[in-house]
Each structure stands twice: as structure tokens, then as C-alpha cells.
Amino acid sequence: MVRIARILCPVDFSESSRRALERAAVLAGWYEAELVALHVAPLPTALLSLAPGVSPATLEPFDVEAMAGELQSFTAQVAARRPGLQLIVRSGAAAPVILDLAREMGADLLVLGTHGRSGVRKLVLGSVAEKVVDKAPCPVLTVALAAEGSPDTPVFRHVLCGVDFSEASRRAVELAISLAEQAGGRLTLMHSVEWVTDDRHPTPATFGVKLYHQSLLTEARARLSELVPAEARDWCRVDFRAACGEPAAEILRAAEAEGADLIVIGADRPGPIDRKSHCFLAMTRGVAATRLGFQLAVTLPASQRRVILVE
């Protein structure tokens, strides 16, 4: 069962972070979760390269009250719909502050907007995002500025979940099922078999390559079907799709062709995300989140999370 009790949404006062906060507020309503809006004020550039003998104490102090007032104004409309919205202002480097608060509050979900402005501009498309996704103690949902839907209704008409049958991807399936159920949407589970084509590696026709190819796809669809509880099929339409090719490219191709609103993937890693997962995440962030306007949720193994969210 998916458990989302605490949601953290960092904002940088951009329209993209406003859209992310609106999504987070609706999700908080669905799961009756606490919602925290965090603004991270960047440290003065001078702190990064102080001259010898210069103390940080001599620099202009961080105006917490002014920043808190701006955050309160920025979140006013969402707060009117979510009276329990909590506001937090901290200063420092964006990624470490976000990660520290996520662990401190035991966040079950991080919701991030793409295309932020200065200071958090790289939140999803650069090094900050990689640090957040790679080290987050909970799942991360990114919301594209182009994502459809009103403030009260996030559009998850079609949730596409990429599955490689790892622990993290199984948890991703649980999250995808839950989101599709809450939204009354359609769910597609997809597995891509990496395949060496005949032009790269010629094979005698007698080997039965086509039959073997079909058997892999049939087996994949059967394994996908086993991941969905019978009762879940009463809540939403569930489809199973298998393809041959590079997983990231195939999943993105399917998402675009079928009009998916949300892509859910799992990231297994004992330490840094492995090369294959890292390439996939890079493609989904750089292609799905920006060019195609998909929303992206990344889940992690339970062993990597402080609070076990069956994501």
C-alpha cells in the first residue's frame, strides 16, 4: 500500500515552481498528507570565495523575514485551499538544503518544478537535480511548466511506468497504480528488452530469431501482468506493453505516441545511480520534461529511504 504522509515542495518564486506547488497541494489532498513549501535563499557569492581574513559575519545578513513574507505571498492561493500548508525558508546551496530537510521531516515525496529561475534554474535539468534525485530519501516528482491541468486537477489521464523488474521499479509500479487510481486515469506498464538487431550482429535464419524475439516480448508482458493486483484493475484501465530497444528511448517514444501525462520509473542503486539508470534519467529529464512536457516521477529502493514510502 502506498503511504504518502509528508510532501516537500521547494519553490523559487517562478511559474514552474508555482505549478509544482499546485500539483503538490492536490496530491496532499488525495493522500491527506502534510505539505511543506521550502524556499532556499542562495548564499551570497562572496561566501564561496572569501578573501583571506574576511569573516562571513561582516557580510550583509540574510533577511529571513523579508524572504518569509515573499514566500507567504507566493503561496497565498495554494494556502487558501490547503490551510495546513507549512512554509520554511533556509539559506545555502539548493540541493543539500532540500535533501537535509527531506530527511529531517521524513518526506515521503519531493515535488519539483522544471525551468526555475536563477539559483534553482538547474533544479531539474542540471547538477542540482542529479544530486537531489541521486540522493533523495524519497521519490521525486518533477512537474513541467507545460504540464496540463488546472490548479485543482493535476492531469494524470495516462500514467506510463517503465519497469525493469528491479526492487525500485516494483515500487514504482505501486506508486503508478496509486496515482492512476486517485486520478481515475489509465495505466500502462512497459518493459523494453535491449536487443541486438540483425544488422549489428547477423544471425543464421535457422536460429529462429523472430520466434525468440516474440517469446521475449510475450514473457515480458506476462511478468508485467503479475505486478498488478486483481483489485487494481477495478480502479483503472491497465495495459501492458513490451518493446525491443534502448529502454529510455522506447519509453519516451511510447509516452509521446500514447499521450502519457506522467512517466514513473525506479532507480536502483547501492551508491550513485549506475550508468544505465543515469543515462535514462538524463534522457527523461532532458527530453521528456522539457520538449514533450511530461511529468516524471523517480522512485528509489526502500533500503535507500529513511521513511519507507511504497512509492
Could you tell me the CATH number of the domain that includes residue 175? 3.40.50.12370
Which range of residues forms the domain containing residue 127?
Answer: 6-45+61-304
Is 52 inside any structural domain?
Answer: no
pLDDT confidence of residue 122:
41
**Tens of pLDDT along 160-218?**
999 989 888 888 899 999 999 988 889 999 999 876 555 545 555 555 777 888 899 99
**Tens of pLDDT along 75-91?**
999 999 988 999 999 98
Intervals of the chain under pLDDT 70: 44-62, 115-130, 145-155, 195-207, 268-294, 299-311
Is 216 inside any structural domain?
Answer: yes
pLDDT confidence of residue 45:
52
Is 187 inside any structural domain?
Answer: yes
Is 51 inside any structural domain?
Answer: no
Is 121 inside any structural domain?
Answer: yes
pLDDT confidence of residue 36:
97
Euclidean distance between CA atoms 163 and 30, whole angstroms: 25
The per-type count for the chain, helices as H runs and strands as E runs, is: 11, 12
pTM recorded for the entire structure:
0.79
Which sign does the torsion angle of CA 274, 143, 176, 222 carry?
Answer: negative
Is 1 inside any structural domain?
Answer: no
Is 54 inside any structural domain?
Answer: no
pLDDT confidence of residue 218:
94
Beta strand spans in the chain (E): 6-11, 34-41, 86-91, 109-113, 140-143, 149-150, 153-154, 158-162, 186-193, 238-244, 262-266, 295-299
The domain tally of the chain equals: 1
